[in-house]
Structure 1
Amino acid sequence: MKTFEFSVIASGLDPSADDYESRFYDHGCDDALVSFQKGHTIVDFAREAESISDAISSAVADVVRAGGTINRIEPDPLVSLSDIATRANMSRAVVTQYAKGNRRAAFPAPVARVTTSSPLWEWASVACWLWKEDKLSKADAINAQAVKIANGLVQTGNLELDCVLNDRVREFEHNL
């Protein structure tokens, strides 16, 4: 088994309740750190599982059993050039050159802009590109895609992640 680190962002629980943290522990989140920030419950997992899909699926199920409403899975799917550099263990200057097309072609286009000078990229697309350029491991690209797929399922209200997430991640991995 491998250990996967990620966070489940949830709402719907009162952090002032006496059993706030113990609820998570009692419902299977004994491998997580629970905190409350900016109106959200953050459940930081270091979960052992056969795959990232299994880890995320079981964590989401545990948080739901504890009474949480799932908002999203992190690491954040939208990243800046600095975030990309950190996640890929590269310098910001090198990542900037990739983004400008000066070092390699076909770097993914930004998907959002916080301001006109601060574009954001979809991490799953960038991770796949970096893997194809031999700059990131295949496992990191698969993990990024798994988080993207899981967040898509959460947005549609589908919290029965186990089968669907595993199937979609396997399909992605097969097509890499």
Structure 2
Amino acid sequence: MKTFEFSIIASGLDANADGFEDRFYNAGCDDALIAFQKGHIILDFAREANTIAEAIASAVENVCAAGAHVDRIEPDPLVNLTDIAARTQLTRAAISNYAKGSRGKDFPSPVARVTSDAPLYDWAEVANWMAVNKKIPVEAAVSASVFQEANNAIQAGEIHLADRLKKREQEETVALEAA
């Protein structure tokens, strides 16, 4: 088993209520640090599982079992060039060159703030490009894809994610290993 670290942002429970933390602990979130900031419940997980898909799916189900509503899972899916450099452990200059097309081709286009000096990129697309171009391990790109799928499912109102995330993880692994 591996330990996977991620955060779940949730809502729907009163942080001042008696037994607030116990609700999460008793629901299976004994591997999460719990905080309440700006009206949101933040659970920072260090969850042991065989795969990232299993870790996320079980954590989401545990948070829902505690009575909270899962709003999203982080790390954030939108990244700037500095974020990309930090996540890939490459220099900011190298990432900037990839984005400009002067070092490699077909780097993903920004998805937000396209015309600004601080464009935002879809992390799953960038991670996929990085893995195909042998800049990061395939597992990192698969994780980014699983996080994206989990957030899409949550936005659609799904909380039982195990099968959906496992399928996405398998498809992404096969695709990236074939590339």
Partner of 1:143: 143
1:33-65 deviation per Cα after TM superposition (whole angstroms, max 9, x unaligned): 010112111111000001000000000000000
Partner of 2:10: 10
Give the TM-score normalised by structure 2: 0.95
Which amino acid is 1:124 matched to? A
Distance (whole Å) between structure 2 residues aligned to residue 40 and residue 123 of structure 1: 23
Partner of 2:47: 47
Q: How big is the shift at 1:114?
A: 8.1
**Is 1:110–2:132 an aligned residue pair?**
no
The alignment's C-alpha RMSD in Å is 1.1
Written as runs of structure 1 = structure 2, the 5 A alignment for 1:23-42 is: 23-42=23-42
Which secondary structure state, in structure 2, belongs to the residue aligned with residue 164 of structure 1?
A: helix
Contact 2:145 2:168 (8 Å CA) reproduced: no
Q: How big is the shift at 1:22?
A: 1.4
Which secondary structure state, in structure 1, belongs to the residue aligned with residue 120 of structure 2?
A: strand
Structure 2, unmatched stretches of 5+, are none
Distance (whole Å) between structure 2 residues aligned to residue 37 and residue 83 of structure 1: 22
Which amino acid is 2:140 matched to? D
1:64-88 deviation per Cα after TM superposition (whole angstroms, max 9, x unaligned): 0011101001000000101000000
Identical aligned pairs, as a percentage? 53
Distance (whole Å) between structure 1 residues aligned to residue 18 and residue 115 of structure 2: 42
Which secondary structure state, in structure 1, belongs to the residue aligned with residue 172 of structure 2?
A: helix
Q: How big is the shift at 1:155?
A: 0.5
Partner of 1:156: 156
Structure 1, unmatched stretches of 5+, are none
Which secondary structure state, in structure 1, belongs to the residue aligned with residue 102 of structure 2?
A: coil
How many residues are treated as equivalent by the alignment?
A: 176
Partner of 1:120: 120
Would the alpha carbon gap of residues 69 and 114 (structure 1) be closer, same or farther in structure 2, given more than 3 Å must change?
farther
Partner of 1:71: 71
Which amino acid is 2:13 matched to? L
